[in-house]
Chains A and B, each alone.
Chain A
Amino acid sequence: MASAPAKLPAWIDIGLLPLINVALAFVVSGLLIAALGQDPFEATWIMLRGAFGYEESLGYTFYYTTNFIFTGLAVAVAFHAGLFNIGGEGQAYMGGLGVGIACLALDQHLPFALMLPVSILAAALFGAAWAYIPAYLQAKRGSHIVITTIMFNFIAASLMVYLLVNVFIKPGQMSPESREFATSAWLPHMHEALGWLGMEVAQSPLNLSLFWALVCCLLVWGLIWHTRWGYEIRTVGANATAAVYAGIPPARIIILAMCISGALSGFVGVNELNGVQHRLMLDFAAGYGFTGIAVSLMGRNHPIGIILASLLFGALYQGGAELAFENAAFTPDLIVVIQGLVVLFSGALSYMLRGPAERLYLRLSLPTVVEA
């Protein structure tokens, strides 16, 4: 938003260009699949059906989407403050640690109505705390946030292994997992919730976290564009000099934006642990933090765009898994390549077509420009 020169109309910038980027990724993927002697159209069909074709697949798609919304929003909030938060992965992991600690400590004592807010709060606090350290180092010491957040992903991973092996492991078992949470800490699955309303749907990991993700979209939208803090965040992100002129301390805003960002990443822990795993375990962050960067870039750091981009990546995850399951020629590695191509074209190369599109648009609309 902030970085976009006001040359291209919005429907091209946030509508057409991302679509073209995704299409390009699919074309290249198709060529790759054809080169392997497989039918790209059949593969596309399997993926689409695998992502949207039946109730269970839809459930999985939306379950992945939930994670991507959290991490995508996290990247977007930091981005509005001019920060590139690469640490979503570690912050999500730590958010889960917060959920785990809260649930293991309190699940015997508190009812669900209290466990849910406590879990959400713990996820936010731990995620924010993990983002606070790089933010502080950036704001006060000038350590580059990209470097520190990357490093904090590794620290988070190591810390989690240590804690699970030495502290939280359920006695008498080999695998590094905690005991199962009491049911008071379980977030109902969507199929259960719909069942209470009398609707029969297939089982899937999709749980009520999806609603919290959508609430977060609304909150982020309100925060960034309708509150004083959002105004300050956008001012610092657009121009730190102007912020100092306006009496806004950039250091404080950097820390604020990063803590909000970390809290949003932390909510992955709610979806994964309260919603699905019901225990503290390893590797549940599974790359969602990194994919959040592509989600945010593709969604142009706007909640609506992020919902759409999350849906795309959710479909890719689920459809890809289905494809690997259906046809042995599509190894999980190939699926990762396809997902990687989408990330490459819509994330890393998202501005590749911007220049040509601008020139083309200017040439086509030149007469009106001269009039204006």
Chain B
Amino acid sequence: MTTAGPPAVAPAIALRGINKQFGPVRANRDVSLTVPAGTIHGIVGENGAGKSTLMSILYGFYQADSGEIEVAGEARKIHGPEDALAVGIGMVHQHFMLVDVFTVLENILLGAEGGPLLAGGMAAARAEVTRLETEYGLEVDPDAIAGGLAVGLRQRVELLKALYRGANILILDEPTGVLTPQEADRLFDILRAMRARGVTVILITHKLQEIMAITDNVSVMRAGQMVAHRRTAETTREELAELMVGRQVLLRVDKSRAQPGVTALRAEALSLTDGTGVKRLDGVSFDLRAGEIVGIAGVSGNGQSELLEVLSGIRPPSQGNLTVHDRVIDREHPADAAELRALGLAHVPEDRQRMGMIPAFAAWETAILGYHQDPAYSGPVLLKSADIVTDTESKMARFDVRPPDPQLTSESFSGGNQQKLVLAREIERHPDILLVGQPTRGVDIGAIEFIHRQLIEMRDRGCAVLLVSVELEEILSLSDRILVMFEGRVVGEVDGAEADARTIGLMMANALDAEAVNG
């Protein structure tokens, strides 16, 4: 689009006016993109900006509602990955799709066996793979078992798979997310070798330093739209961060200055290591005081979800401890969600469909999830259904849940009304501590304002509120203090009144200089 000069050859990819809608969510809005052949093209944007949707359309996983796709100058209809491969588009997913018990060669051959007997295809493949390996520096033992390879090598197998099938346009979705810095450097060498031989690479990432290090051009997406195209050499990390996050005038919520009281919750060096040994949380420490809202900003997937799970008792911390009032919780002395609720901690989960409610349950059943042991709801044996229904009716009235019918199944409410029901359940307990994850995800505009007002009201009543959101605007307008998370660590703290989107955006991409954070 903005690339100067007429291209000598047709662009490898040209997308025009792509629209894609999922229910009420417009994942892609009139997106256009031109990728010149033989270049490395970066696509950046926050989570949910529509990058993955766009690439899935290009690779045939989804069909666009409208719009055109041109590959090497020819209009194409791509109905599935086979169609994409047929026109030379290959994709390497964030999560590898290898058969663990097969050898590297068998994995590469999978789906391109070339006949009922493997021997012939194997020999041909071995020759071709050897050629590709030397040509691009993609060294990997073809007879090794895929499951036993290191992550970086497994990724190379994915690259080989795509190349073996004749892909000359490669889409890489967050390829360095699982790599060590050294492995990432090796990957970039390979990508440069590919470019030198005319392969076009599309790199989806939210790491700006990678964009600056390797791409020729970069496109920025925000909220489903393509907001800018730049030559990498003519832009800066700061500019990209600003474009990514957006500079719209913030919808400041009316609120007085916080009157923080005593510490209600203290996290000390909280760490969480998952089953594969990856540190999801790495020494997170902070205080949450009564009467303040602390916002956790960060690109999705940097440990915010895990932090909420540890704080709410869903997972015990691997290291460090958590103090709620006087109760110290650590690995040896875990507390489950029920105990934390009894301590006055309420939790509005990030994923209400998966955690906050049971879609098939009636609204009144969802309205007691987590509190079903309360004597007000449950006798010695029987649930007090009639009382619960009445109680749910009054909650629905106070939180304006529509339709106000406790007998409807939870899944039949709209996203906003589901969220109001969950909020009502948690807030009406008058907790001392309220953890809130993505309070307005998938929620209509009208409900957003209502939900924000409720959170401020909770704060003013002396509740300690921890707000996790990928909506930076929401964090900025509600928080009294903002912590920024990156790769499981808290990389910065900013006073809510002084915070601006640009600084936070840079912190979220860990692109702000260390001195600036400390200063």
Instruction: Pick 12 A–B contacts, CB within 8 A, sort by A.
Output: A1-B360, A3-B360, A6-B409, A226-B385, A228-B372, A228-B378, A244-B336, A244-B337, A245-B337, A246-B369, A247-B313, A248-B338
Question: Is there contact, CB below 8 Å, between B354 and A239?
Answer: yes
Residues of A within 8 Å of B347, CB to CB, are 245
- Residues of chain B at the chain A interface (Cβ within 8 Å): 312-314, 336-341, 347, 349, 354-361, 365, 368-370, 372-373, 378, 381-383, 385, 409, 411-412
> Mask for A209-250, Cβ within 8 A of B = 1, else 0?
000000000000010001110011011001101101111110
Residues of B within 8 Å of A244, CB to CB, are 314, 336-337
**Bound: A226/B382 CA distance, A:** 5
Is A35 part of the contact surface with B, judged by Cβ < 8 Å?
A: no
Question: Is there contact, CB below 8 Å, between B409 and A242?
Answer: no
Residues of B within 8 Å of A235, CB to CB, are 358, 361, 369
Residue of B nearest to A239 (CB): B358
**Bound: A166/B292 CA distance, A:** 73
Known: A241-B355, A242-B369. A4 touches B337 (CB 8 A): no
Is A352 part of the contact surface with B, judged by Cβ < 8 Å?
A: no
Is A2 part of the contact surface with B, judged by Cβ < 8 Å?
A: yes
Q: In whole Å, how far is B410's beta carbon from the nearest beta carbon of chain A?
A: 10
Question: Is there contact, CB below 8 Å, between A2 and B360?
Answer: yes
Chain A interface size band reads 20 to 34
Residue of B nearest to A245 (CB): B355
Question: Is there contact, CB below 8 Å, between A246 and B382?
Answer: no
Residues of A within 8 Å of B378, CB to CB, are 228
The residue from A6, A231, A239, A247 contacting B336, defined by CB atoms under 8 A apart? A247
Residues of A within 8 Å of B341, CB to CB, are 247
Q: In whole Å, how far is A360's beta carbon from the nearest beta carbon of chain B?
A: 22
Residues of B within 8 Å of A4, CB to CB, are 360
Question: Is there contact, CB below 8 Å, between A242 and B356?
Answer: yes
Residue of A nearest to B347 (CB): A245
Q: In whole Å, how far is B437's beta carbon from the nearest beta carbon of chain A?
A: 11
Residues of A within 8 Å of B313, CB to CB, are 247
- Residues of chain A at the chain B interface (Cβ within 8 Å): 1-4, 6, 222, 226-228, 231-232, 234-235, 238-239, 241-242, 244-249
**Bound: A228/B381 CA distance, A:** 7
* Closest 9 pairs (CB-CB, A-B): A247-B338, A247-B337, A246-B370, A245-B355, A228-B378, A238-B358, A246-B369, A2-B360, A226-B382
**Bound: A227/B383 CA distance, A:** 5
Question: Is there contact, CB below 8 Å, between A247 and B370?
Answer: yes
Q: A238-B361, A245-B369 are in contact. List 14 more A-B contacts (CB 8 A).
A: A1-B360, A6-B411, A226-B382, A227-B382, A235-B358, A242-B354, A242-B355, A242-B357, A244-B336, A245-B337, A245-B347, A245-B355, A246-B337, A246-B370
Question: Is there contact, CB below 8 Å, between A245 and B370?
Answer: yes
**Bound: A245/B313 CA distance, A:** 8
**Bound: A1/B362 CA distance, A:** 12
Q: In whole Å, how far is B385's beta carbon from the nearest beta carbon of chain A?
A: 7
**Bound: A81/B378 CA distance, A:** 20
Question: Is there contact, CB below 8 Å, between A227 and B372?
Answer: no
Residues of B within 8 Å of A242, CB to CB, are 354-358, 369
**Bound: A239/B411 CA distance, A:** 14
Residue of A nearest to B365 (CB): A231
Q: In whole Å, how far is A4's beta carbon from the nearest beta carbon of chain B?
A: 7
Residue of A nearest to B373 (CB): A228
**Bound: A234/B360 CA distance, A:** 10
Question: Is there contact, CB below 8 Å, between B314 and A227?
Answer: no
**Bound: A25/B356 CA distance, A:** 42
Q: In whole Å, how far is A84's beta carbon from the nearest beta carbon of chain B?
A: 18
**Bound: A235/B381 CA distance, A:** 17
Residues of A within 8 Å of B349, CB to CB, are 245
**Bound: A4/B359 CA distance, A:** 11
Residues of A within 8 Å of B358, CB to CB, are 234-235, 238-239, 242
The residue from A2, A222, A232 contacting B372, defined by CB atoms under 8 A apart? A232
Residues of A within 8 Å of B340, CB to CB, are 247
Question: Is there contact, CB below 8 Å, between A246 and B409?
Answer: no
Q: In whole Å, how far is B391's beta carbon from the nearest beta carbon of chain A?
A: 15
**Bound: A78/B252 CA distance, A:** 51
Residue of B nearest to A4 (CB): B360
**Bound: A249/B8 CA distance, A:** 64
Q: In whole Å, how far is B317's beta carbon from the nearest beta carbon of chain A?
A: 15
**Bound: A3/B361 CA distance, A:** 11
Residues of A within 8 Å of B355, CB to CB, are 239, 241-242, 245
Question: Is there contact, CB below 8 Å, between B383 and A222?
Answer: no
Question: Is there contact, CB below 8 Å, between A234 and B370?
Answer: no
Question: Is there contact, CB below 8 Å, between A227 and B381?
Answer: yes
**Bound: A232/B359 CA distance, A:** 15
Question: Is there contact, CB below 8 Å, between B354 and A241?
Answer: yes
